[in-house]
Each structure stands twice: as C-alpha cells, then as structure tokens.
Amino acid sequence: ITTETITVGGQTYTKDAFSNVTPTILEKTTRQLHLIPTHPVAIIKDLIASTFPDFKHYDTFSPVVTTKENFDDLCFAADHPGRAVTDTYYLNEKVMLRTHTSAHQLKVMTESDKILVTADVYRRDEIDASHYPVFHQMEGAQLFDAKTAVEDIKALITRDLAAAGAASKAIQTTDTTVITPENPKQAAHDEAAMLAVADHLKHSLNLMIRRLFSHEKDLQVRWIDATFPFTSPSWEMEILYQGKWLEVLGCGVIQQDILKNAGKPDKIGWAFGLGLERLALVLFGIPDIRLFWSQDERFLKQFEPSKIQKFKPFSKYPACIKDISFWTPEKFHENNFCEIVRDVAGDIVEDVHLIDEFTHPKTKKRSVCYRINYRSMDRNVTNAEINELQEKLREEVVQRMKVDLR
Ligand code: PHE
C-alpha cells in the first residue's frame, strides 16, 4: 500500500491509519451479483421481494457509507466490537464499506413506510466454504401509525391468512420467545402496539419463508431471542438444515430514536435483515459460498430467473496445499493474516486453517502453522504458479505483519 488515496466508484478518499480495504475487496464492489437476473443471489432476492409486493425496493446504493450511517445512526455504542478494524473494511476513519444493509435504514425510512434494500455487504472474516468477506443482504421495514397499529395490523393479518389459505399451515414454526427484561419493550412504546408490530413481523416473515420453501413440506423454522443496537425487542429466525439450526435473518421492533431521526416520531415499525447467500445455499444446494463468485459458465448457465433448481456439481479442479509457519507478533489477529492471503491469492484460496501452534517454553514466543488450500473454481492451477503465490505471501506476511517466518 503506497498511494495516499483510494478511489471507489469514481470517488476519491484520503487514507489514514484506519484504511484497510484491499484491491481484491474493492474489485468485488463492481460485481453486483444481486443485479444479474440469472444469478442465484438475484433469484432469491426477486422471490423474496415478490412476497412484499407493495414495498419500495432499493438495490443500487453504493457500498461506500459513512461510519455515522453504518453505526451511529443505528445506535451502536462508541465501543461496539463491530467497529473494530479487524472486522470492518475502512476507506478511512469516517468512510467504510457497509457491513449491513441497515446502513440505509434511516435514509429510506424518511422516504417510505414499506421498504426493501438489497445490497452487497462487507465483513473481514476467516476463509472457508461458508465464509466470504462479501455477501448480500436484504433489509425490510414496515412502519405503522402508532395510534392505530393494533387495529390496522389485525386487519392485515386476517387478510393475509385468508389469501394464503392452506399454505400458511404447511410449515411448522416454533416460537418460545416472550418479552423479557433481557429483550425488552422500549419505554417509548405502548405495549399493545409493540406486541401487534412483533406479531406482524413474525407473521410476514413466516409467510415469506413458507413461500420460499413451498416445495419442502417438512421445513422447520424457529424463533429465538437476539440483540441488535437498532431494534428492541429483537429476534432471529433459524431453519433446520442438515440437522443443524441455521440463522437466516435478524429482526425486531425499530428503536424509536431512529424513527424520530427519520422525521416519523408518530410511527412504530419493524425491520429485518437477511442473508441471501445462506438461503441460496440451502435452496439451490450450493456446497461452497465461493461458487457465487465463479465466472465459470458451468455455474452461471445453470439457472433461470425466478426459478429454484438444484445445483448440478461439476468436477472440481485439483487442489494444491501449502503450509506457512511463523512466530506471531504481539498483536496478532487471524483476520489480518487471512486478509493478506486473500489479497495475494484472491479466490484461488479455498480454505485457510491453523494446523499447529505451540509456545516456546523459554522465550514464551508463540508459533503458528497455517495450511492453505489453493484451488481454482474455474481452471487448473499449476504448482509453479502456486509456489510463486506462496513465495509472495511469505514476503507480504513478513512485511505487513512484521513476523519471523520459521
Ligand atoms: N443488520 C442486522 C445484521 O446484519 C440484521 C437486522 C436488520 C436486524 C434489521 C434487525 C433489524 O445482522
């Protein structure tokens, strides 16, 4: 990193001590998978959007937002861990790549009472088949007049259930959540109105998931308590997939301060945010999250707009495995190491994991050994090419993390 500025989407930002976006990550901002109608991410997006037909849908917002939009406007505490440079990509201290679509809540809620926002979001993370530093979220929110919310919602739910008919019973859902001191009602809210909004939220999302999984008769859905700075009470929906509960969305009753700031103090509302890749993995049976980024026709040509169909695996190219060992510096964070791996090798890295570590009995220095699995989604990689990458990686690791290789 030598230049003093970073340019994204035609805008230039001045770097400072926070800047940690890399060219590999910035390249992703141009891909816009959710806008390619035959891409699984976009197919799921469109199917979900069709269950919220009269919502205003925004899907072309720039991924570059201010820390105010991503955190402060959403009531994140000043020391919230999500703000850490190890978890978030910063252009500089004030400007970042959004970590969630909630970053646009305040703005869109000033414009409409029923909104959807779909976008690519960025989080620094480990590397494996289910973690990738870029993914796609859909945000939804609906606002009601606080005074008439109870009656308005009753009418809406009655109408929906009549329209859904038998389909509304097709999926078993479990909800053991109640309002507790740990997951409280906001002081500003009337209890009956808040409970009606919570009911409508879960009802709407149950209907959405039933529609999405209409072909899977025994899908199991459950609701659990959750915590977000910008909603209270808050919940997560999980679905049972291959014997494990998988989180698909977070949601809750919007913090009243946000509605006040949006110029709508007399409204009450709910919001949710869901991960599109998670649902696409399950619905299409896609085994590796990196496939979403594949440019291989054998992937891209498989799908059609608005249609869920099982992914047909094609043969994988061979893997090439390399290990790297080093003495860790005092402040070592695995995400920083993964970032360098990703920056040097990009999507050719399938997986990075710690295979060995020990602390020297005398010096107390800690040594780690990481195994890197290189494999391309699209082509054969040569051993010579991987050796070269590995050599580059060794240099970069020394230079950027000031470690001693072993
Ligand atoms: N933004 C939250 C996340 O990324 C999800 C969420 C959205 C939760 C809206 C509540 C309300 O995890």
33-51+104-300 CATH: 3.30.930.10
Residue nearest to atom 7 of ligand 1 (CA): 273
What's the 194 CA to ligand 1 centre distance in angstroms? 18
Task: Tell me the ipTM for this assembly.
Answer: 0.99
Q: Coil, helix or strand for 107?
A: helix
**Whether 234 contacts 226, CB under 8 Å:** yes
Query: How confident is the model at residue 214, as a pLDDT?
Result: 87
State pTM to two decimals: 0.88
320-405 CATH: 3.30.70.380
What tens digit of pLDDT does each residue of 19-77 get? 999 998 999 999 999 999 999 999 999 999 999 999 999 999 999 999 999 999 999 99
**Alpha helices by DSSP H, 228-333:** 256-261, 276-284, 297-300
Residue nearest to atom 4 of ligand 1 (CA): 100
Domain with CATH 3.30.70.380 in the chain: 320-405
CA-to-CA distance for 126 and 132, rounded, in angstroms? 7
Lining ligand 1 with CB less than 6 A are 100, 102, 139, 228, 231, 250-252, 271-273
CA-to-CA distance for 94 and 322, rounded, in angstroms? 38
Query: Helix and strand tally (H, E) in the chain?
Result: 11, 17
Q: State which H helix or E strand residue 392 sits in.
A: helix 383-401
Domain with CATH 3.30.930.10 in the chain: 33-51+104-300
Q: Cα–Cα distances in Å, from 289 out to 13, 42, 95, 128, 178?
A: 31, 15, 27, 8, 34
Cα 165 from chain centre = 33
Task: Give the nearest ligand 1 atom to 101 CA.
Answer: 1
CA proximity to 74, closest of 248, 234, 237, 247: 234
Task: Give the nearest ligand 1 atom to 251 CA.
Answer: 10
Query: How confident is the model at residue 131, as a pLDDT?
Result: 85
Report helix, strand and coil shares of the chain as percent, to nearest 5.
Answer: 35, 30, 35
Q: How many CA atoms, within 13 angstroms, populate the side-chain half-sphere of residue 119?
A: 26
DSSP label of 176: -
Task: Give the nearest ligand 1 atom to 275 CA.
Answer: 4
Mutation choice for ligand 1 from 99, 102, 105, 201, CB with most ligand atoms inside 8 A: 102
CA proximity to 118, closest of 141, 142, 138, 140: 138
**Whether 179 contacts 252, CB under 8 Å:** no
Task: Give the nearest ligand 1 atom to 141 CA.
Answer: 9
What's the 275 CA to ligand 1 centre distance in angstroms? 9
pLDDT in tens, the chain (406 residues): 456 999 998 999 999 999 999 998 999 999 999 999 999 999 999 999 999 999 999 999 999 999 999 999 999 999 999 999 999 999 999 999 999 999 999 999 999 999 999 999 999 988 788 889 999 999 999 999 999 999 999 999 989 888 877 655 555 667 777 788 899 999 999 999 999 999 999 999 999 998 999 888 788 999 999 999 999 999 999 999 889 999 999 999 999 999 999 999 999 999 999 999 999 999 999 988 989 999 888 999 999 999 999 999 887 889 999 999 999 988 889 999 999 999 999 889 989 999 999 999 999 999 999 999 999 887 888 999 999 999 999 999 999 998 999 8
